[in-house]
Amino acid sequence: MRFGFSLSDSESMRGAGSSFRRSRAGISPDRGSCVSTTSKSIPCSKRASDGLREYSKMIVDVETFSSCIEDWVLQKLPSNSCDKKLLFKPPFMVDELQKLDYALDGVFFQQLFRMPYSHHGYDNSREEKFLALVCFLQTIVDGLWRTFWHKTGEPPFFVSCPRYPGSRFYTIEQAVSNGRLGGLCGAAVVAKVDSDSHVRWNDVLELALFKSDITDGKSKAFSMLSICEALFYGFHILLLRNLSKSGASKGSSIYMLVLDSKFGGIIKFGGDLSRLDVNSCNPYHAVVEWIKNHAEVSVSPIDRVWNKLGNANWGDVGTLQLLLATYYSIIQWKGPPRKSIAHLATDQSLLIQKRRLQCYGLSAQIQNGHNGQWETIELDHQSDQTPNKLSMRPNLKEGEVIRLEDSQGQVKFQIKDIILVGDSLSYSAFTLDQPCKLFTLYVGVHPSRLEPSWEAMSLWYLVQRQTKILNIMKQQGVSSKNLPELILSGRVLHSGHCSKQNPGDCCEHPWCGTPVLVTSPVGEPVSHIIARYGSFCTEEALRFCRDILTSLKSATSANIQHGDICPENIVRVISLNGRTESLYIAVSWGRAVLEDRDSPAMNLQFSSVYALQHRKLCPSSDTESLIYLLYFVCGGEMQQQDSIESALRWRERCWAKRMIQHQLGEVSTLLKAFADYVDSLCGTPYPVDYDIWLRRLNRVVACSDKGKCVERLETSLRFEDVAETSGTSGGCSSFTY
């Protein structure tokens, strides 16, 4: 994988026999090696593992660790009580917490044990406080799991309490009976492992340190000792994860919750341990230098978590920070949720729209529901307030008939189903004279009603710009069964009198002039398929790759790149031509790139490296996104990313450690070879050779359709056509499988 390459740099690139990957510490530019043989700290080597294991045994004194790093921490803390600015960046932005607050609106968190409130500098209620802490964390885990992942069943996590790094874990009852309660450092959320009842540190999702006072006593910020202790425990957890086969894939960062009986906050800590010097004669100094130069530390402001009655302030900033940290920690271990924060937050947006209508004096009838049953809002058009002032579009309901007009005349469509994919809303509909044939119907907003909001611009890309892209394809003769077919693009004709003065204007009726796009066919998004049925089998993954590669090739013939390849924008259509056969189609072409000034969509999980870095596409960007999508549908864990920087680091780590190739290789050797090929192209100005890979994929898919053995054909493909592959990328180095 190449990072930071510019298309204008092609003249300075090396010859045809060289790799175009940029060499960094720990990453070899040689195609056949993923790590440098000269690096002195590589976690996958035995020497480095032994060194890290020794560090885990030697760095055991939190006071010695704190004395080594306290000067660095103090430099980043407020200098006085009036200065509230931290030099540590916060782990979350306010709008992220606000979205989570909207998503959890109506979710009930039931905490049985209350946090004792101490009015004095001393108290003897340590047992009650730890019971409240454990209950609080378990309530968070249960609530988040049932809200975002699975409504029923037990969450695959539990809460247990350690004493120090490497110690055994205790329940509160065990700690009291063994006289260990006074030595507990906090409580940890731990993943359940069916095969072993023993609690291990490498199975810790997050650790909540519990102290008598976490503040500095002046500016209501974290004390220096609280941050030092969080870094000490966080380093040990990352170290033990790195040494564990199961924990190494769970990410290189951890969220540390730091709490007392009143306040709480988050310290996010992470970094690449391959940069840690394991040969130092002073391990504490080596770790501190690694934290200063190579680790990332984010510190949140502290805020009140429990009120004076011992109840958690679930809707306030302090508790929302802890909820969001736990949400991301669960994603690290169990993958993306079935329902995202943005999806659940849309319900709050609908309530705001309803209240806005009521404030304008318009009557509204709301039919609440989920899973495709959206709110239907009927407006009173006799009101003095005009709908032009509202940045929303009226929604259709099932069974409703809509009349459309284009250059050829008028057509009536009846709505069959409502399709909700992420934040995008469309409909399946049929014409009254052909009720058996379904079409996809997109409804936009008239240009005069567009506002500079995210929702309005999304509608513009979904309808108006996608119409432009599909028209260009149609005019240039681009046709493929793996591309959507433009059926109709026009405007809605509303009933009653229309008072508009000019053809391009619109009257006060909310439907007047509303643009509509009708395409064919109707399919099920891949995101829904994976959520419902799980990962693809070998045959389905190969067919999926073949179909999407075909659609990208067809679009490239018209100099069009999709720009937003993701699970929501790929649909599966089931055809019944004598036998059941699935067909995958790339849809939602509104963010397609036609020329250099066009910007693709920014998807932290599926966009290419070049798109994230430059907001532009290189020739292989869509294919790189396809590789990430293949990794996802084949069971790979897609970590939730909170910034472009973290998304780039994830891609760098995946390509350097060949995690993607390894995952795809377990499904198909041909997909693994394809990933290697795309890796050699990423970020370069060389086009993708679609023909050679489509030829191979067609042979394998045809073989599976005839009932033959896919593995046998894939094995034969390992040794043939190598000469075809070498040099087909316009100078990239050849590769072998």
Q: What is the pLDDT of residue 343?
A: 74
Answer whether 609's CB lies under 8 Å from 682's CB: yes
In this prediction, residue 650 has a pLDDT band, given cuts at 50, 70 and 90, of: very high
Q: What is the pLDDT of residue 475?
A: 93
Q: What is the mean pLDDT of residues 176-182?
A: 89
**pLDDT tens digits, residue range 497-536?**
777 767 666 776 777 778 899 999 999 999 988 888 888 9
Q: Which residues have C-beta within 8 Å of that of residue 96, sequence separation ≥ 6?
A: 324, 642
Q: Which of 90-104, 120-134, 333-347, 716-730 has the lowest mean pLDDT?
A: 716-730
Q: What is the mean pLDDT of residues 219-244?
A: 89
- Top CATH class, 530-725: mainly alpha
Q: What are phi and psi of 574, to 5 degrees?
A: -95, 120
- Alpha carbon distance 234, 240 (integer Å): 10
Q: What is the residue type of 358?
A: Q
Q: What is the mean pLDDT of residues 313-324?
A: 91
Q: What is the pLDDT of residue 580?
A: 59
Q: What is the mean pLDDT of residues 144-164?
A: 89
Residue percentage of the chain with pLDDT more than 70 = 75
- Alpha carbon distance 114, 312 (integer Å): 8
- Nearest Cα residue to 467 out of 551, 590, 587: 590
User: How far separated are the first and last CA of the chain, in Å rounded?
Assistant: 18
Q: What is the DSSP string of 492-517?
A: EEPSS----SSTT---SSTTTT-EEE
In this prediction, residue 591 has a pLDDT band, given cuts at 50, 70 and 90, of: very high
- Nearest Cα residue to 68 out of 289, 280, 258: 289
Q: What is the pLDDT of residue 526?
A: 93
Q: 34-48, 350-364, 583-597 — which one is most confidently predicted on average?
A: 583-597
- Alpha carbon distance 583, 674 (integer Å): 20
Alpha helices per DSSP H over 87-201? 94-103, 126-144, 172-177
Q: What is the mean pLDDT of residues 481-506?
A: 80
**pLDDT tens digits, residue range 328-351?**
999 888 888 888 887 777 666 556
Q: Which of 32-46, 101-115, 509-523, 603-617 has the lowest mean pLDDT?
A: 32-46
> Rounded to 10 degrees, what is the CA torsion of 287, 289, 292, 297?
0
> Which tokens in the block code for residue 429?
């509909």
> Rounded to 10 degrees, what is the CA torsion of 57, 61, 65, 67?
-150
Q: What is the pLDDT of residue 672?
A: 95
Which helix (H) or strand (E) element contains residue 597?
none
Alpha helices per DSSP H over 196-257? 224-243
In this prediction, residue 102 has a pLDDT band, given cuts at 50, 70 and 90, of: confident
Q: What is the mean pLDDT of residues 274-282?
A: 87
- Alpha carbon distance 236, 245 (integer Å): 16
Q: What is the pLDDT of residue 641?
A: 83
Has residue 37 got a pLDDT over 50? no
Pairing label, strands 401-406, 485-493: antiparallel
Has residue 711 got a pLDDT over 80? no
- Alpha carbon distance 684, 13 (integer Å): 10
Q: What is the pLDDT of residue 80?
A: 58
Q: Which residues have C-beta within 8 Å of that of residue 443, sequence separation ≥ 6?
A: 393, 396, 425, 426, 427, 463, 492, 514, 515, 516
Q: Which of 132-136, 186-190, 372-376, 707-711 has the lowest mean pLDDT?
A: 372-376
Has residue 476 got a pLDDT over 90? yes
- Alpha carbon distance 345, 420 (integer Å): 14
Q: What are phi and psi of 108, to 5 degrees?
A: -100, 120
Q: What is the mean pLDDT of residues 684-712?
A: 78
Has residue 314 got a pLDDT over 80? yes
Query: Cα–chain-centroid distance for residue 643?
Result: 10
Has residue 78 got a pLDDT over 60? yes
Report the CATH fold assignment for 344-498+507-522.
Answer: Phosphorylase Kinase; domain 1 (3.30.200)
In this prediction, residue 394 has a pLDDT band, given cuts at 50, 70 and 90, of: low
Has residue 178 got a pLDDT over 70? yes
> Which residue has tokens 């190598």?
722
- Nearest Cα residue to 189 out of 209, 174, 165, 173: 209
Q: What is the mean pLDDT of residues 239-244?
A: 86
Has residue 644 got a pLDDT over 60? yes
**pLDDT tens digits, residue range 55-73?**
888 888 899 999 999 999 9
> Which residue has tokens 């009226």?
394
In this prediction, residue 714 has a pLDDT band, given cuts at 50, 70 and 90, of: very low
Q: What is the pLDDT of residue 667?
A: 93
Q: How many CB atoms lie within 10 A of CB 553?
A: 18
Q: Which residues have C-beta within 8 Å of that of residue 45, sequence separation ≥ 6?
A: 35
**pLDDT tens digits, residue range 615-629?**
899 999 999 999 999
The per-residue pLDDT of the chain, averaged, comes to 78
Classify burial at 483, counting beta carbons within 10 Å of its beta carbon; exposed 0-12, middle 13-18, buried 19 or more: buried
Q: What is the pLDDT of residue 383?
A: 34
**pLDDT tens digits, residue range 281-300?**
899 999 999 999 989 999 99
Q: What is the mean pLDDT of residues 703-712?
A: 51
Instruction: Verify cis geometry, omega within 30 degrees of 0, for the bond prior to 521.
Output: yes
Q: What is the pLDDT of residue 448?
A: 62
Has residue 4 got a pLDDT over 50? no
Answer whether 169's CB lies under 8 Å from 199's CB: yes
Q: What is the DSSP string of 250-291?
A: G-SEEEEEEE-SSEEEEEEEEE-GGGS-TT-S-HHHHHHHHH
In this prediction, residue 389 has a pLDDT band, given cuts at 50, 70 and 90, of: very low
Q: What is the mean pLDDT of residues 314-323?
A: 91
Classify burial at 565, counting beta carbons within 10 Å of its beta carbon; exposed 0-12, middle 13-18, buried 19 or more: buried
> Which residue has tokens 């560090």?
55
Q: Which residue has the higher pLDDT, 143 or 105?
A: 143
pTM of the predicted model, to two decimals? 0.50
> Which tokens in the block code for residue 14?
């090396």
Question: Which whole-number Å values give the CA distances from 627 to 492, 622, 637, 713, in the listed order?
Answer: 39, 9, 13, 22
Has residue 278 got a pLDDT over 60? yes
In this prediction, residue 33 has a pLDDT band, given cuts at 50, 70 and 90, of: very low
CA atoms within 13 A on the CB side of 496: 11
Q: What is the pLDDT of residue 451?
A: 55
Q: What is the pLDDT of residue 663?
A: 94
Alpha helices per DSSP H over 59-111? 62-75, 94-103
Q: What is the pLDDT of residue 16?
A: 34
- Alpha carbon distance 418, 396 (integer Å): 8
- Alpha carbon distance 684, 687 (integer Å): 8
- Alpha carbon distance 2, 34 (integer Å): 13
Q: Which residues have C-beta within 8 Å of that of residue 487, sequence separation ≥ 6?
A: 439, 518, 519, 520
Has residue 481 got a pLDDT over 80? yes
Q: What is the mean pLDDT of residues 42-67?
A: 80
Output b/e per residue, 653-676; b: 16+ Cβ within 10 A.
bbbbbbbbbebbbebbbbbbbbbb
- Alpha carbon distance 194, 58 (integer Å): 31
In this prediction, residue 651 has a pLDDT band, given cuts at 50, 70 and 90, of: very high
Q: What is the pLDDT of residue 82?
A: 52
- Domain spans of the chain? 46-334, 344-498+507-522, 530-725
Answer whether 646's CB lies under 8 Å from 652's CB: no
Q: What is the pLDDT of residue 455?
A: 56
Q: What is the pLDDT of residue 150?
A: 87
